[in-house]
Amino acid sequence: MRPMLPALLLAAFLAQPALAHDDHGKPRWGGVVADAGEFQAELVIKAGQAKIYLSHHADMLPSQGASGKLTLLAGGKKEELVLKPVSDSALGAATTLKSGKGVKAVAVLQLPGQPVATLRYTLK
């Protein structure tokens, strides 16, 4: 029975990092998530606002010092928005386009100390 103990300890140790990734890629605010390598960005369009929430796994990233551009394509219309911090962990701008199935978006984000990230979204 003793030889099993190291194997069980090793299995428990290796399982720990997987738990930290359980929420990776899952929307928290009802939007669509895109992965930018070092961080995730969730696009939410509602009530005349387009917001991108910034996170790194379970931790929210500060939006202070971040900026970006969001291009929305819906029903043959195109809208380009300049994104600015609108909360502690979100960039946003007013939009006239409505959220809905088939809306496509491209975001170009610059976070402090990070390379420029280009994210693509298709709303469901």
Q: pLDDT of 42-83, one tens digit each?
A: 999 999 999 999 999 889 999 999 999 999 999 899 999 999
Q: Phi, psi at residue 54, to the nearest 5°?
A: -105, 130
Q: pLDDT of 3-25, one tens digit each?
A: 555 554 445 555 544 444 555 56
pTM of the model: 0.79
What's the one-letter identity of residue 8?
L
**Cα–Cα distances in angstroms (integers) from residue 107 to residues 3, 19, 51, 66, in the given order:** 53, 29, 11, 13
Domain 23-122 has CATH 2.60.40: yes
Domain edges within the chain: 23-122
Write down the pLDDT at residue 6: 54
